[in-house]
């Protein structure tokens, strides 16, 4: 699976931070020495901005990095990180931060998600996605809705690629009961869930109402795990107007533990299939 420009930018930032710390420097000192703004180093190291390969060369010179192979690798990463992902042309329809999430999702090896209100985007049918997008859009113009549907369906190719992402979704029972788009749309969506659950890389568990209160009652979340150990896992939280990416180790540990508890409380994958099937036939 090719590495997305967003993931390249993140990996470059992690490596540049490591080299800065190895040189015994802080970001303020580096910015002052290179005549940069105080926040530029931080934004590069956190992957928030793409960086020109010339700036990377200046950083490596300042850190006294003489390893030619490493210099070539990082400068190549900088060039590649400035490319545009397929989603870039639709940025005007996305909430703040979601384009970054898509770029990272595209490079993930494992996606673990808990949803409390809707079917996860990677598992939505077109009709269900349209109903959800129209219901949640502030200004639901036809063009805006169609672009968002195109993005959602394009993301789903991750599940059936040659090297597919592994998806583990825990769905609150409310997700299956809350009707979106009418009875036929909902039935089609539940049938599609069963079909997706047959994929070897997809696990779907339902958290039943009878389970009572649980650790994730504060809301849905997504954990991304990457194939290269160099790239640390992260958590994504989505709000009405923006998305937030969490990379702090303590926060990640909290959400990882929370997901484990949810999977233990939820129905097994087999029991979940039985429940979804009963909803279709009722």
Strand 221-225 with 110-115, pairing: antiparallel
Of 20 and 82, which is predicted with more confidence? 20
pLDDT in tens, 205-224: 999 999 899 999 999 999 99
Give pLDDT, residue 94: 63
Q: CATH number for 89-281: choose from 3.90.550, 1.10.10, 3.30.870, 2.30.30.
A: 3.30.870
Q: How many CB atoms lie within 10 A of CB 180?
A: 21
Q: Do 100 and 245 touch, CB atoms closer than 8 A?
A: yes
Give pLDDT, residue 14: 87
Residue 35 has pLDDT above 80, yes or no: yes
- Count CA atoms closer than 13 A to 203's CA, side-chain side: 14
Tokens 């923006």: give the residue.
242
Cβ neighbours of residue 125 closer than 8 Å, sequence gap 6 or more: 185, 188, 189, 192
Residue 96 has pLDDT above 70, yes or no: no
- Cα separation, 129 vs 185, whole angstroms: 10
Residues of the chain with CATH 1.10.260.40: 5-81
Q: What is the DSSP string of 171-223?
A: EEHHHHHS--S-HHHHHHHHHHHHHHHTSTTEEEEEE-GGG-S-TTTT--EEE
Q: What is the DSSP string of 113-153?
A: EEESSS--GGG--HHHHHHHHHHH-SS--HHHHHHHHHHHH
Q: Do 256 and 223 touch, CB atoms closer than 8 A?
A: yes
Least confident window among 55-64, 69-78, 189-198, 258-267: 69-78
Q: How confident is the model at residue 87 (pLDDT cuts 50, 70, 90)?
A: low
Report the chain's terminal Cα–Cα distance, integer Å.
41
Least confident window among 13-17, 194-198, 220-224, 276-280: 13-17
pLDDT in tens, 43-82: 898 887 888 889 999 999 999 999 999 999 898 888 887 7
Q: Average pLDDT of the chain? A: 89
pLDDT in tens, 223-242: 999 988 888 899 999 877 77
Give the mean model confidence (pLDDT) for residues 199-206. 98
Give pLDDT, residue 89: 57
Q: How confident is the model at residue 153 (pLDDT cuts 50, 70, 90)?
A: very high
Q: How confident is the model at residue 1 (pLDDT cuts 50, 70, 90)?
A: very low
pTM of the model: 0.80
- Tokens matching residue 42: 């931080």
CATH of domain 5-81: 1.10.260.40
Containing 169, the helix (H) or strand (E) segment is strand 166-172
Residues of the chain with CATH 3.30.870: 89-281
Q: How confident is the model at residue 98 (pLDDT cuts 50, 70, 90)?
A: confident
Give the mean model confidence (pLDDT) for residues 192-204. 97
Give pLDDT, residue 247: 85
- Cα separation, 32 vs 197, whole angstroms: 54
- Cα separation, 272 vs 207, whole angstroms: 9
Give pLDDT, residue 245: 85
Q: Which of 169, 170, 166, 150 lies closest to 158, judged by CA?
A: 166
Q: Do 111 and 167 touch, CB atoms closer than 8 A?
A: yes
Least confident window among 14-23, 92-101, 182-191: 92-101
Say if residue 138 is exposed, middle or buried (CB neighbours under 10 Å; 0-12, 13-18, 19+).
exposed
């Amino acid at each position: 699976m090719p590495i997305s420009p967003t993931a390249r930018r993140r990996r470059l930032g992690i490596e540049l931070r490591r080299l800065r710390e190895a040189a015994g420097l802080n970001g303020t000192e580096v910015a002052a020495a290179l005549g940069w703004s105080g926040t530029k180093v931080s934004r590069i190291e956190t992957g928030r901005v793409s960086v020109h390969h010339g700036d990377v060369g200046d950083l490596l010179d300042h850190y006294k990095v003489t390893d030619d192979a490493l210099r070539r690798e990082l400068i190549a990463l900088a060039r590649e990180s400035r490319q545009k992902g397929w989603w870039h042309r639709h940025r005007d329809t996305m909430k703040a931060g979601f384009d970054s999430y898509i770029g990272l999702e595209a490079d993930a090896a494992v996606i673990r998600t808990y949803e409390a209100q809707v079917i996860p985007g990677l598992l939505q049918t077109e009709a269900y996605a349209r109903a959800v997008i129209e219901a949640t859009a502030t200004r639901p113009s036809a063009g805006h809705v169609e672009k968002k549907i195109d993005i959602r369906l394009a993301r789903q190719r991750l599940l059936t690629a040659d090297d597919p992402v592994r998806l583990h979704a825990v769905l609150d029972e409310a997700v299956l009961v809350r009707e979106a788009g009418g009875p036929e749309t909902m039935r089609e969506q539940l049938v599609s869930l069963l079909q997706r659950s047959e994929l070897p890389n997809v696990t779907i568990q339902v958290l039943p109402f009878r389970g009572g209160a649980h650790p994730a009652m504060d809301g849905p979340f997504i954990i991304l795990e990457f194939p290269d150990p160099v790239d640390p896992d992260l958590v994504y939280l989505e709000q009405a107007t923006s998305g937030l990416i969490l990379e702090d180790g303590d926060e990640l540990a909290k959400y990882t533990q929370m997901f484990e508890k949810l999977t233990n409380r939820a129905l097994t994958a087999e029991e979940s299939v039985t429940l979804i099937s009963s909803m279709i036939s009722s």
